[in-house]
Amino acid sequence: MNSNWNFFYNLALSLWVGGISIFTFIITPVIFRSFERDMAGQIVGKLFPGYLTYNLVLSVLVFLLLMTVRPLLTKSGFKVSLILVACAVIINLYVVFKLHPDIVRIKQAVHSFNAEAGTSPERKAFGRLHAVSASLNLLLLADGITLLFISSVLKKQ
């Protein structure tokens, strides 16, 4: 039975890593190459709530599935996985309920990213929050990749 749960655990991790990779490295760059900056920002802004919810739901699902595959992992593999998944859930909760709403609020104060100088206080605040968001996104990607590695390598024999 645990091997069935292991399939779903790895599937959820694959969706996690794949979703972040596709959104970060394919969808967002294509949108910004295809539209002027303000329009691209609006499009990506419309996609973000779904994307962020997707990441949060998957991290919680992975946490639950990790409990079912615990017997298949080495003790150290489970402990490291538990820490990584807990960190991912906490990061996703922060992004969904604090960081993203702050970004939306600041973004509304910036009338245009094409016209306004990058030195306005709102643009600087947006830039800082965007950098935090991008960093956490890449951290979550690395987290998911590490979890996939652990689930493949640190199994009990």
pLDDT tens column, 50-60: 999 999 999 99
The pLDDT of residue 1: 57
Q: Are 45 and 104 in contact (CB under 8 A)?
A: yes
DSSP calls for 128-140: HHHHHHHHHHHHH
Q: Which two tokens stand for residue 13?
A: 């991790």
Residue 142 has pLDDT above 70, yes or no: yes
The pLDDT of residue 145: 98
- Give the whole-angstrom CA distance, residue 111 versus residue 132: 22
pTM of the model: 0.91
- Give the whole-angstrom CA distance, residue 80 versus residue 135: 21
